[in-house]
Structure 1
Amino acid sequence: MIVGIGVDSIEHERVRDAISSPAFAARVFTPEELELPLTSISARWAAREAAVKALGGLHGMRLRDLAVTRTHLGRPVFVQSPELDRVLARLGVNELHLSLTHDQTTSCAFVVAERH
């Protein structure tokens, strides 16, 4: 059963400007994420925003608790963390499905929160 959906898009230029502040960058992204190309960092920002929409808020998490990585096959997934696990359990969400895309100027993410 679908519990929530969220979508977000962001211009790469806005993310570049935001992460020029080291304090902001460290508060929102993991060190591994900050090593990625700007298009990938932007997609991860959009993923966080889309997840917040799908879950109906942060529920006490920080944006950094919504870190994104890729599986060995390249599929984007949220990194399991104690905070994310706590929120998902409280909301009865078993899985967050994530899709990312980007072009030269913009990144977009789509998230589906699912309860089995």
Structure 2
Amino acid sequence: MIIGIGVDTVDIERLGRQLGRAGGLLARLFTEREAGLPLASLAARFAAKEALIKALGGSGALGWHDLEVPRIPGRAPGFARTPGLSRELALRGAGRVHLSLSHDGGIATAFVIVEASGPETGSTPDRSGREAL
């Protein structure tokens, strides 16, 4: 069962200007694994974080670093199962998060679907040892 759907778009150049202007914004919004990615990938990840918050109906106690989208070669994009995200998903009865990212023409877009917990939902560890959703 679907709990929520969220979508968000980000102007890539605008995000780049904001990151350059506001000291510390990069470190505040992105984890170490995310921070070294190209600007278009950062914009897509910021859109993903916003889309997930929309799909959940609000951020609750989530911080930006609770919403990590690591790049894992050979794997579709997904959120890392951080302790904060795991807690918020459990509070909402959610078990699985689907994520689609795209960037083209100066715009980054993310689409998120949050599914309820159930016997068919599950996760597997990513290369960092964290479970990916």
One fold, TM greater than 0.5?
yes
| Structure 1 moving runs of 4+ over 3 Å | none
Counterpart of 1:32 in 2: which secondary structure? helix
How many correspondences in the alignment? 116
Contact between 2:11 and 2:43, CA under 8 Å: does it hold in 1?
A: yes
Gap runs ≥5 in structure 2: 119-133
| Percent identity between the two aligned chains | 44
| TM-score (normalised: structure 2) | 0.82
Structure 1 unaligned segments of length 5 or more: list them: none
- With CA pairs under 8 Å and 6+ residues apart, which has the higher RCO, 1 or 2? 1
> Which residue pairs with 1:7 in the alignment?
7
Counterpart of 1:23 in structure 2 is 24
Contact map agreement 1:71 1:77 (CA 8 A) in 2: no
Task: Tell me, in whole angstroms, the C-alpha distance in 1 between the residues paired with 2:19 and 2:34.
Answer: 11
Find the structure with the greater CA-based Rg.
2
What is the root-mean-square deviation in Å for CA atoms of aligned residues? 1.2
Correspondence for 2:84: 83
Alignment correspondent of 1:114: 115
Deviates more, 1:72-81 or 1:44-53: 72-81
The question of 1:59 aligning with 2:69 is answered no
Q: Tell me the TM-score normalized by structure 1.
A: 0.94
